[in-house]
Structure 1
């Protein structure tokens, strides 16, 4: 147990799925950057909703609908508080980070990006923060540009001012690299972009699980994250947007609940955030996400951040001690990820052998192929850490890596 009273061993007990064996070994789950496991509190909240409150929201006048609406909008308020947003109207429920970015690209982007304009991203981005902007640029005749990355996994910020041109219409940047764990100084990037009148979208999928995020302090224009990476359900996510910006954006999809009135001649759209929430929402998903936020706030985000820093330092040193292993990415600030390769062994083979030892990692390009190209590799092995991981988990990973060395000589 740490000096703050945080105990990863105690936290682990809250996650029922971790209490099992895989291939005769105690499960060591090191793939939370892909999808985090769920505490019992989240599972119970979803179950309770379906057992007691299940109904559609907003339009019903019966008791179950009123309960469901209260739970759904209560979850929106929990997200607002979690992100320190100013107004609950700035919280839009979506399916995940990917849909949030597509929403901004196809609403704000199509309205504001035209022929000859530029969209700026970085070399650290997940495909979800590349492809929607490529699609937009193809549609609008614009150009996609990127801030390069150095050999340590840090952005080359000396290039930023030259890349923020009078034609740049938006900067879209990850907060934490899913492939390397690099923590991007987004507050500095936002300040420099805003000096030139350029709005900024932040992909926070890998950040919100590891340390507190305050969107007002960052002054970002948009912020996106996924519930399933935040120990909540799959299929639910959040787009934060400054209210003044959201109100200028056209709807993303048409259908129920994004309207105020419909005639054959004209539709009057609903106010924000409902304008962007067409159709029946994932009410149970929102309830589960709210429960995940309650759980994390109960544990304490500062304590989680301290545990992340300590365990990451231990893991990196331990993994580097395995013969033939090379860790990729030594950014000035990192969070949650150790990404590595091993001499003469394909990452998929490493992942397969680790699974036989009960250790779950991710092997591949991590939906970050341009970044892999920057480092001259096709794939890596990624061990990603969460609040329920312990030094014992890291030790099990290292023992399994030595088994890989034995197999491949």
Structure 2
């Protein structure tokens, strides 16, 4: 009898404790975060992500037509038009490249679109032999935008010589076929990803909005992990760290920069960071809805209210440093790398902010593994 009374008393005490202000505040905080997440997901899906893929899809369609025009009639006007459309696609790619979740993840969109540096020697051999297959993981560095860049900027030293490679060269037919194949693969991939997001397609847009928790597999969890991993491995490391020798014991590798042949490296990196910043803000063009910035402000009220602004300020600091990096980036790394080193340091600061404080504030577990303990 005594044990039964003691058990009941314990339950009553526990119940009273949970009515204390701290328990009520925790419950209110969780409810506030639950309520705050859905509008962010809706805005990002409807006004940022889907329009971003739509723009990339439409621009890739134009680029594919320019490839067809050039291969049908290789001349300076068609080459210039092709390069202009190529630059537009590469710039737009930067604004969605870090969305490596959902359809983009299942279709390995990043690897298909932008594995660099490209294997120019294998491309040359394929054009010479006329034997090539661009399927399978082992050929990702022979296709995508970096491969196309080499084909229209790096195949020869001058525009006249490049045009001749497609018009009168010994292997002109093979060169045309290779360029057409690379373009078609790019268009096919973005078409698949874009249509999987559309309501009349795979309708991942609705699935994305409904997965509004913070657990592994939630949209928030996938976005935070994708943003953190991309910033660490492909913004900081691939675009600056590896060319600067951060992964090769200080031995610089200038040719490993993104867009080595076209020399767009700095402008593409600026577009890339600007795209990340806009995504963080929930912004695209004239639309400026709720993003991570507003979400952090709402759920961190009374705690670290400055975190949202510190992350935003760090994006601006990276862009400020990039403004001081001369083009071409490969020459800067070779001759005077101080400005590139400074930009790399600012990227490293943002990696730490996003990977630790940002993810912790949102209650998201970082599930990918890194190699350097950042």
Instruction: Give me the TM-score of the superposition, normalised by structure 1.
Output: 0.25
- Kindly indicate which of the two structures has a greater share of residues assigned to helix: 2
- Kindly indicate which of the two structures has a greater share of residues assigned to strand: 1
Q: Over alpha carbons, which structure has the higher Rg?
A: 2
Q: Which structure has more RCO (C-alpha within 8 Å, separation ≥ 6)?
A: 1
